[in-house]
Structure 1
Amino acid sequence: MLHFALFVGLTLALREESGRLSLDRDADGYVIDSDPCSSPRGSDYCQVSVQAELRKLQGVEDPGARIGAILAIQDQASRACCSQGTDYDEFVFESAAKHNKGSTSAPLFDSTTALVVIDLQQDFTQGSLRQPCWDVGGSTFLRNTEQLIQKAASAGATIIASKDFHPPDHCSFAGEENCLNQKDKHEGTAKERYVNDFPSHCSFEWTNGTAVPQKAPETPFCKFMDSIEVKVPFCGQFDFVGTDFDPALAEALSRVDRSQVEVVFKGFHQKYDSFSAMEHRETQEGAMSVEDEEIRFTGGYALSTARDDACHGKWDQADCYPTKDELFGSGRRSFAEILEARRIKKIVVTGLVYDFCVKETAIFTRENSPSTEVWVLADLTRPSFDGKPGAPYTTGLCDGQEAENGYCAEGGGTKQWYKRVLQDFVDNDVKVKRLVEPECA
């Protein structure tokens, strides 16, 4: 956490230094949303912003420090990048198959379908793991998600919303011990999926056996930022709770009949991470086997049906916080059990983020339930490092072509990275689509 927060602070102080760039497009949502029929023009703004910051970070090898610095920068180049279209906007336009919103021959939803909305929470939109382009595209993204929820509900589909939900010393947080996950892990691999250096996010404290979400000033992230006298706006807000659903999502879910809505919590065990709402069970050939404990403590879990009935529309209120027994005990209901009980034949996955939690939920569902059809709506998810191409890696850690100052031309935030994730989807028979109006189909 020290390196992350320190370089966030430095970046906040320097964030206007990469030049005065004019915007030649009015910001009205992500480009793939505001102009879905036209190929994004793209620009060099994203790369300009990242490379300018990397020049300031020469000699800093700690990945967490570099990640923190790059995500924090909001200079004019990064704003121009978001407005003109990121690598992800270009990728979605070029690579995601179109699905006509007006199609009557191939309806998206019916009563055997579940719309899965992954981790659309405050910390992932505007908090410690914020979406870099949310100020440009967030409101339109939320509006489109609300409309999709209404459409799914009208067709009789189930809506499942997941919540990332971590203790303050969770194994994925910077400065903590590595997670114990073994799924798809091979001996001797240099990089492992569940060895991470994330800033703390979506955190709760155990209070008298109840998991009480932390208000922003109480979180490990904000306490440390305050200790080094770096002012992050949301860290001063006691009404900002990172685990909370985005208010627009909470309102949309509350308008759906209780019988059609499920909320699942994931990542609540201190020693195991779970990007996926589906439990870890199957593993790649040649990888280490998944232990029973990992199966029990990964994936998403809903409260008992009676508690869910009482808490519909009140998910972020104190009387509906989950207890330790509800998260770890026998009365909980797993994501897999919910799909089976509701006789779901197809899931449609949206939310945050494309290359982690959305990806693993989709692929692990296919692994654990091969008869279930799985779609990902690429225009209704956003990736990590959106508009921050090449930033997450340092010398020796780049997945592909590396340029000056450690800029990784094929690393996170790049079109090449999104294509590799797409290939993972294809290899697991997950359909990646984007919704378009009839005139664009």
Structure 2
Amino acid sequence: MQINTKQDHTAVIVVDIQQDFTQAMQGSLAVEGADQEYLDRAETETRRLKALGYPIYATQDWHPADHISFFSNHDNANPYDLIEIEGRQQVLWPPHCVQESPGARILIDESLFTAIVKKGMDPAFDSYSGFFDDGKKDTGLADILKKAGIKKLIVYGLATDYCVKATAMDAKMLGFDVTLIKDLCRGVAPETTAAALEEMKTAGVDIC
């Protein structure tokens, strides 16, 4: 799908296109297919949408070094272990997107963004969604969008089955119309990506 005209009250959210999530930059949590070709396409499309007049927003994982999601902060744990913490399930990831580290850097030209919303800053909670962390703490993104009169969102980025899905699903829950550009997303695993796309579609996300 290519969007060729400006749609009123519509904004773009670019989810977590950061160094640590890309194969192109040998990131610590590189997503399959997030290579240089993908980055070039995402950059080109973001510039094109900006030129059409869309406000562009970005989300950015911004973890403290002692974040609960890092396997290295748990005894006898391995990357991708699934544990339970206070009644919620937590995937243990390799350390990634640590605050002020090169791995946290957004790889799209930051001058394109109206605002960058950081997430995952509370060491006790993961934050896949750009709107809320797992403790339901608000990132402020919804208020930014609503104050700008935004009612519809175009979403793409990394990774389809985690942060993109959570952001799109929360956007729908908050009352936004949501379009996901599938070709500008990459997922962690084929099975969970397929399930995420189906879940989003069922929730009313328009997948293009």
User: Do these two structures clear the TM 0.5 threshold for a shared fold by scoring above it?
Assistant: yes
Alignment of 1:4-403 (within 5 A): 99=1, 101=2, 107=5, 109-125=6-22, 126-134=26-34, 138-176=35-73, 192=89, 195-204=90-99, 213-214=100-101, 241-246=102-107, 249-250=108-109, 253-254=110-111, 256=112, 261-279=114-132, 294-296=135-137, 300=139, 334-367=140-173, 369-370=174-175, 372-384=176-188
Q: Contact (CA 8 Å) 1:179, 1:273: kept in 2 or not?
A: no
Aligned length, in residue pairs: 197
- Per-residue CA deviation, residues 366-415 of structure 1 (Å, 9 max, x unaligned), is 11x22x1101111001001xxxxxxxxxxxxxxxxxxxxxxxxxxxx23x
Evaluate the alpha carbon distance shift between residue 102 and residue 112 of structure 1 in structure 2; reply closer, same or farther with a 3 A threshold.
closer
Counterpart contact for 2:16–2:59, Cα < 8 Å:
yes
Counterpart in 2 of 1:422?
A: 197
In structure 2, what residue type is equivalent to 1:245?
Answer: I
By percentage of residues, which structure has more strand? 2
Query: For residues 406-436 of structure 1, what are the alpha-carbon distances to aligned partners after superposition, in whole Å with 9 as ceiling and x for unaligned?
Result: xxxxxxx23x433321221122101111xxx
CA 1:337–1:158: 2 relative to 1, 3 Å:
same
Structure 1 residues 169 and 335 mapped into 2: Cα distance closer, same or farther (>3 Å)? same
- Structure of greater Rg: 1
Is 2:71–2:92's contact at 8 Å kept on the other side of the alignment?
yes
Equivalent AA in structure 2 for residue 350 of structure 1: Y
What stretches of structure 1 of length at least 5 have no aligned partner? 1-98, 186-191, 205-212, 215-240, 281-289, 301-333, 385-412, 434-441
Secondary structure of the corresponding residue to residue 374 of structure 1 = strand
Aligned 8 A contact 1:110 1:152 in 2:
no
Q: CA deviation at 1:341?
A: 0.7
| Cα distance in structure 2, aligned partners of 1:102 and 1:377 | 10
User: Can you list the C-alpha shifts for 1:324-371, whole angstroms capped at 9, x where unaligned?
Assistant: xxxxxxxxxx1011111111111111111000000000001111x22x
Instruction: State percent identity of aligned pairs.
Output: 29
One-letter amino acid of the counterpart of residue 9, structure 2: T
Greater Cα shift, 142-151 or 260-269: 142-151
Q: Give the counterpart letter for 1:278 in structure 2.
A: F
Distance 1:179 1:115, change over 3 A: farther
Indicate how the Cα distance of structure 1 residues 165 and 153 shifts in structure 2: closer, same or farther if over 3 A, else same: same
**Whole-Å Cα distance in 2 between the matches of residues 352 and 179 of structure 1?**
24
- Once the two structures are TM-superposed, the CA of residue 151 in structure 1 deviates from its matched residue by 2.3
Runs (5+) with no aligned partner, structure 2: 75-82
Instruction: Quote how far apart the aligned CAs of 1:155 are.
Output: 2.6
> Does the Cα contact within 8 Å between 1:123 and 1:243 map onto a contact in 2?
yes
- 8 Å Cα contact 2:28/2:96 also seen in 1: yes
Residue deviations 1:295-332, cap 9 Å, x none? 33xx54xxxxxxxxxxxxxxxxxxxxxxxxxxxxxxxx
Q: Distance in 2 between matches of 1:267 and 1:419?
A: 25
Deviation at 1:181? 7.4
- Structure 2 partner of 1:436: none
Q: Give the deviation of 1:148 after TM superposition.
A: 1.8
Amino acid at match of 1:359: K
Distance, in Å, in 1 between the alignment partners of 2:170 and 2:86 is 14
Distance in 2, Cα, partners of 1:114 & 1:278: 15
Q: TM-score, normalising length from structure 1?
A: 0.42
Q: Which amino acid aligns with 1:129?
A: L
Q: Shift of residue 179 of structure 1? A: 7.9
Dislocated runs of 4+, deviation >6 Å = none
**Does the 8 Å CA contact 2:72/2:95 hold for their aligned counterparts?**
no
TM-score of the two chains, using structure 2 as the length reference: 0.85
Tell me, yes or no, if the aligned pair for 1:111 and 1:156 is still in contact at 8 Å: no
RMSD (CA atoms): 2.3
1:102–1:180 distance in 2 versus 1, CA, 3 Å: closer
**Aligned AA (1:431):** D
